[in-house]
């Protein structure tokens, strides 16, 4: 005999009213206050500062390749709260284009250009995944994606320094993409990620989303495969860091 007393946590209603100074990121790694190039700023995502600026530029088309659905502003706030903030192994980042005028909707020093994050963070195994990885339509095919991904790679893979600078010193960073989204796969490979293979049926998709059908005994929603790419510490130390720096400097 045994006991299993687990109960799923009750969903919490997301909010954009909590002030930045009291917003708890609830993450199991040291989260940088800011990562920055000459054109892009990456900071922790704070709903009261960033949510409206992001969602007002958001489009349903952005979800075509994602395994989530946030059709309303409130559902987006719920996603940030329950999937990212309430999980200690995840943290979201706001990506800001500093070359644009300041956005008055969130007191942002530039224009909100994307939503990125770290997920599946494992300090024990020194591994994490970059995701979500959403660059808003206006900023796609610009320097924004390369700068944002480059900054997140540098923080994850650079080793810590005695003065408190440097990065996390992790060994493995993962990029997961929808097999139909070859632009995402290509963008990752351009930044130095190496393709490892395909994980089958890695996601259960939202209601009505096209994907891989399953038999009705395993749920009504379609499934999705994922192309898995990785950037590991030895890649980083053997030319990867220089490749990322060159990608940032050329775009």
CATH architecture under which domain 29-249 falls: 3-Layer(aba) Sandwich (3.40)
Q: How many CB atoms lie within 10 A of CB 154?
A: 18
Helix (H, G, I), strand (E, B) or coil at 158: coil
Per-residue pLDDT band for 75 (boundaries 50, 70, 90) equals very high
Per-residue pLDDT band for 251 (boundaries 50, 70, 90) equals low
From its phi and psi, is residue 26 left (phi > 0), alpha (psi between -120 and 50) or beta? left
Sequence-separated (6 or more) residues with CB below 8 Å from residue 73: 51, 52, 55
First to last CA, the chain: 62
> Taking Cα atoms as reference points, which of 22, 14, 43 lies closest to residue 31?
43
Reported pTM: 0.95
Q: What ranges do the domains of the chain cover?
A: 29-249
Q: How many CB atoms lie within 10 A of CB 76?
A: 21
Per-residue pLDDT band for 65 (boundaries 50, 70, 90) equals confident
pLDDT of residue 68: 87
Per-residue pLDDT band for 132 (boundaries 50, 70, 90) equals very high
The H-assigned helical ranges of the chain are 47-55, 73-79, 144-157, 182-190, 233-235, 241-250
Better-scored residue on pLDDT, 165 or 186: 186
pLDDT of residue 63: 81
Number of Cα atoms under 13 Å in the Cβ half of residue 1 = 0
Question: What digits encode the pLDDT tens for the residues 93-130?
Answer: 999 999 999 877 767 889 999 999 999 999 999 999 99
Sequence-separated (6 or more) residues with CB below 8 Å from residue 217: none
Helix (H, G, I), strand (E, B) or coil at 194: strand
In the predicted model, is pLDDT for residue 79 greater than 80? Answer: yes
Q: What are phi and psi of 47, to 5 degrees?
A: -50, -40
């Amino acid at each position: 005999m045994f006991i299993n007393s687990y109960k799923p946590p009750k969903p919490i209603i997301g909010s954009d009213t909590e002030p930045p100074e009291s917003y708890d990121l609830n993450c199991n790694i040291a989260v940088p206050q800011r990562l920055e190039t000459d054109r892009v700023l990456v900071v922790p995502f704070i709903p009261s500062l960033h949510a409206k600026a992001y969602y007002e530029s958001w489009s349903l088309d952005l979800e075509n390749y994602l395994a989530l659905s946030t059709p309303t502003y409130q559902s987006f706030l719920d996603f940030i709260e329950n999937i990212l903030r309430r999980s200690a192994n995840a943290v979201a980042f706001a990506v800001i284009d500093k070359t644009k005028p300041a956005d008055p909707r969130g007191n942002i020093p530039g224009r909100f250009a994307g939503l990125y994050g770290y997920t599946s963070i494992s300090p024990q195994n020194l591994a994490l995944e970059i995701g979500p990885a959403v660059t808003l339509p206006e900023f796609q095919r610009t320097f924004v994606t390369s700068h944002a991904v480059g900054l997140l790679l540098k923080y994850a893979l650079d080793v810590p320094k005695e003065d408190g600078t440097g990065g996390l010193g992790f060994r493995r960073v993962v990029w997961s993409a929808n097999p139909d989204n070859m632009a995402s796969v290509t963008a990752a490979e351009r930044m130095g990620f190496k393709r490892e293979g395909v994980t089958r049926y890695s996601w259960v998709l939202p209601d009505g989303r096209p994907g891989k059908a399953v038999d009705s005994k395993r749920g009504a929603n379609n499934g999705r495969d994922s192309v898995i790419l990785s950037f590991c510490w030895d890649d980083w130390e053997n030319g990867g860091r220089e490749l990322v720096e060159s990608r940032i400097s050329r775009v």
